[in-house]
Amino acid sequence: MRFRPRVGEELVINGVTYCIAEHPAAPGIPYGQAGRRAIVYQIAAGDDKRALKVFSRRFRSPALVLVAQNLAPFASLPGLRVCQREVITPEQNPDLLRQHPDLAYAVLMPWVEGPTWTEVMIQKRPFSPEEGLALARSLVSVLARMGEEGLAHCDLSGPNVILPPDGGVELVDVEEMHGPEFERPEVLSSGSGGYAHRSVEGGVWGLEGDRFAGAVMLAEMLGWCDERVRGAAWGESYFAPKEVQEEGERYELLVEMLEERWGEGVARLFERAWGSEQLADCPTFGEWVQWLPEEVGRPVVIETEVDEEVAEAAGPPWEPVEEEVVADEDVQRRLVEAKLKAGEAWLAAGQPERAAAELEEAYELDPEAAGEALARALAVLAGEREEERDREGALAAYRRVLEVVPEEEALRDEVEAILAGWEGEEAEEADEEQQVALREAEGGKPHKSEMPPRHRVSGWVWAMSGLAVLVLMVWGIYTLSLRKPSLRSESGTAATTMLALPPADTLMVAPSPTSPSTGVPASRPVETPPPSTATVTKTPPPPTATPTPAAAAPTPAAASPAGNRPLPLEASLSVQGWGTSPISVAAGTTIILEGVLRNLSQQQFYFDYFHICGVPGGAELAKTHRVAPYEVQQFQHQITVPRGRYELSLCACGIGSQPGEVYCHPENVWIHLGNTIQVAGE
């Protein structure tokens, strides 16, 4: 279930009760800000305001715990307050995660007041030269200090820079930060539109990662006091994504303004960054510190021979700028801003469909200003449609994303990859159906290679089933011939029951019914035979699921009846597919479990314990297996069960990415059991 908070709803995190805050501009709606990978909500415990960052399923990972540990030592640096953070884990907040599973690995951190740099640019909020210089000096100071510590943000952009009311800047969205001994993220950012260097299409993660984006943002801040620059700005950034590192009117105007107001040294630094081939060619932030003036009207002068009389007569290199007056007739711009705010508020409230409707109206009025926000809302809506198994709805939303998202946005690459995979699947299915239809139209039986997978599997199953029966018959005759003398000599002694199973069945992890009071899978009533007093060999009924050879990897589509979706919280997991058998055992009977754990997913998982269902009082074996991606592990365990008659059924509980997690079920996790489960007793 998706996390849809309500205003005033209480969340107990690490023993502290927080309440969901209300959006200041939208009564009744939670205060949140949506990004490509997460939604950040404001929560509060009295006067203590915090930010709760809830990641989308694709970016939710236990690795965030290590990221928080790496960031913690740098929380005292200027501009890095959000490095002081706590990660919500199942071990520390089990009750909260039972109520809200989507809060797994969410991050709790300080709430930073103030607008983002992007909001300042969209609203074209005027700055005085003094304000612009102070802002630029604060940003370059933060970035230079980070460089001295071996840090780089690696996704520096307008939405990730907040301007607190008391001055300075604060950086957010620091999960992919580069640092000493930090682990390289699995998915790298290729930069944000308007700030991405042309050399980082494959992603940026290194000490030089902020040099180009920082140079562009510093130029924006220094130029924002000029009315001409504000009027020429593209939208969420000064430059449109497609014109970055290209010479044009915006670039020439900004360079001219930088040289006029802040001196030739500042202008040359920006020109160096703009024309660079690699990030390492851009000026360091130490150079920016050197050339930025300490106060307005006193630019740092390059040491060249000048005419002193001309210099004295030239006057200050800047001119006072009157405050911008917004015309009353500019209704359209105000309407677009209102629609953008409403859309962001609905998205933060977990209502992407309503958010998309608001942003579509803003897009019709101003495509450049609303394109990226609309694309984000549509991407969230598409993900929601996927979870609801509405493939057509998801496809429509994803295709609309491609129509509105700016060319250089990383979101475009993600959506194109998703659609390419889906279109490939559809083409294969259509081709298969066409081949079968052609053969049937000719009046002939479909060729083996053209038969649908279920028909091919069915024929293979019958062949393998026959072979399995033959092998079992031969083995049973051989076993009885060996045991016959001992049976005569040991008549009346304790018996051992052997349950023979189909060879190397492929067993599927699937939900099983649970008892409402205990959560343990409920036993099913069966008619049991009288207690056995001699060694026998029983063949269980045919498997309820289609057997698969151990060497063949199952297809992801068949991995789970739930469509490869994580199971609900506290859902028990049951091994299905090999059938069950009613047995009778004496007190102290030991069940020996032999089999194979095969992980076909790209993440490790933990197998916490086995449980024999239907045993009065339960029978459990706590044994944790850590199975790495694509690893195969053999196992052999023993469980002692009490005397009684019941149906033997094996359950496997607690599959997750960390020990003890029951709510997380990785996709494509299959279990292969060996040939037998031996029940030995007195």
Model pLDDT for residues 388-428, shown as the tens digit of each residue: 778 888 888 888 888 888 776 777 777 787 877 776 666 66
Q: How confident is the model at residue 9 (pLDDT cuts 50, 70, 90)?
A: very high
Residues 6+ away with beta carbon under 8 Å from 80 = 71, 74, 142, 146, 170, 171, 174
SS3 content of the chain, % helix, strand, coil (to 5): 40, 20, 40
pLDDT band of 536, cuts 50, 70, 90: very low
**Given this model, what pLDDT does residue 74 score?**
96
Separation in Å, CA 598 to CA 31, 550, 634: 44, 10, 9
Q: What is the pLDDT of residues 286-309, one digit of tens each?
A: 999 999 998 876 555 554 444 444
Q: Can you tell me whether residue 263 is helix, strand or coil?
A: coil
pLDDT (tens digit per residue) in 73-115: 999 999 999 999 999 999 999 999 999 999 999 999 999 999 9
**How many angstroms separate the CA atoms of 518 and 515, rounded?**
6
pLDDT surpassing 90 at residue 491: no
- Phi, psi for 84 (deg, rounded to 5): -85, 105
Contact 34, 377 (CB under 8 A): yes
Residue 145 has what pLDDT? 95
Which of 172-186, 325-339, 487-501 is predicted with the least confidence, judged by mean pLDDT? 487-501
Token reading at 584? 């009778």
Place of tokens 């030269």: 129
Query: What is residue 503's DSSP assignment?
Result: T
What's the Cα-to-Cα distance from 136 to each of 218, 224, 253, 286, rounded to whole Å? Answer: 6, 11, 19, 13
More confident residue, 477 or 164: 164
Top mean pLDDT of 378-382, 426-430, 499-503, 554-558 is at 378-382
Element (H, E) at 115: none
Q: 415 or 260, which is more confident? A: 260
For 203, the enclosing helix (H) or strand (E) is none
CA–CA distance, 574 with 596 (Å, rounded to integer): 15
pLDDT given at position 637: 66
Higher local confidence (pLDDT), 667 or 237: 237
Please report, for residues 100, 169, 455, 536, the alpha-carbon distance to residue 209 in angstroms, rounded to integers and kept in the order given.
36, 19, 54, 70
Residue environment code for 173-201, b if the CB has 16+ CB neighbours within 10 A, otherwise e: bbbbbbbeebeebeebbbbbbbbbbebbe
pLDDT value of residue 413 = 75
pLDDT of residue 502: 32
**Which amino acid, 615?**
V
Question: How high is the pLDDT of residue 342?
Answer: 76
The domains located in the chain, with CATH, are 10-110 (no CATH), 117-299 (1.10.510.10), 334-414 (1.25.40), 495-680 (no CATH)
Average pLDDT score, the chain: 70
pLDDT at 546 over 50: no
Q: How many Cβ atoms from other residues are within 10 Å of residue 16's Cβ?
A: 14
Residue 661 buriedness (CB in 10 A; 0-12 / 13-18 / 19+)? buried
Region of poorest pLDDT, from 10-24, 269-283, 666-680:
666-680
pLDDT at 22 over 60: yes
Percent of the chain with pLDDT over 70: 56
Residue 656 has pLDDT above 60, yes or no: no
> Which residue, among 514, 537, 528, 656, has the nearest Cα to 599 in the 3D structure?
656
Instruction: Give the strand pairing for 16-20 and 107-110.
Output: unpaired
Q: What is the DSSP string of 612-636?
A: EET-TT-EEEEEEEEE-TT-EEEEE
So what's the pLDDT on residue 20?
Answer: 96
Rounded to 10 degrees, the C-alpha dihedral 287/288/291/292 comes to -160
Q: ∠ at Cα 358 (108, 49), nearest 5°?
A: 20
The two three-digit tokens of residue 592, written as one number: 């020996």
**How far apart (Å, rounded) are the C-alpha atoms in residues 681 and 8?**
59
Structure tokens at 461: 């199953």
Are 379 and 60 spatial neighbours (Cβ–Cβ below 8 Å)? no
pLDDT at 497 over 70: no
> 175: part of which helix (H) or strand (E)?
none
- Residues whose CB is less than 8 angstroms from the CB of residue 465 and which lie 6 or more positions away in sequence, other chains included: 502, 542, 547
CA 222 to chain centre: 36
> If we measure between CA atoms, which residue out of 334, 411, 413 comes closest to residue 369?
334
